Amino acid sequence: YTESILVEYINTTLGFTVLYPSVFTDDMLTEDGDGVFAKLPDDSLSFFVKRTENSTAANLADYTDVIAKGIPGAKATLNETFSYATVAYDTQEGNAVFDMYIITDKYIYQAELSFRKELSSTYQMYTAYLENSFAVDELSVG
């Protein structure tokens, strides 16, 4: 079942893996030095995963707290056991956005899924797949 609705993205250079919705075909993926991005032609669904330098020595709780406080109606959830946090919110443009953050001493990893709110029944389940599949090598090795 998951193989028909999800595709695994592995970036060994940036050190992360994630499952994303299979509605994105290979030609919709755009890779750059920070990660990968994709969106449907009608803008109803998009996702990205990226890695940036943790140049301010940010920690997970404070970082996501600042982000959530800066977005009206955002809900942040910290999962200390598995060292990640999520921030979920709705935009004025009518999208539901689900962000996941993993922060290490060196890097800030972010995965985001955004979809039109009226399509929540179709795309909401992908937030759980994203949350359960996003992994970074720095925390997995050892």
Q: Report pTM.
A: 0.93
Q: What is the SS3 string spanning 27-67?
A: HHCEECCCEEEEECCCCCEEEEEEEEECCCCCCHHHHHHHH
Question: Would you place residue 21 in the very low, low, confident or very high pLDDT band (cuts 50, 70, 90)?
Answer: very high
3-state secondary structure of 92: coil
88 neighbors 98 (Cβ within 8 angstroms):
yes
- Evaluate whether 84 touches 99 at the Cβ level (below 8 Å): no
Question: Distance between CA 140 and CA 124 in Å, rounded?
Answer: 26
Largest pairwise CA distance in the chain: 43
Residue 130: how many CB atoms within 10 A of its CB?
23
Residue-wise pLDDT tens digits, 32-91? 999 999 999 999 999 999 999 999 999 999 999 999 999 999 999 999 889 999 999 999
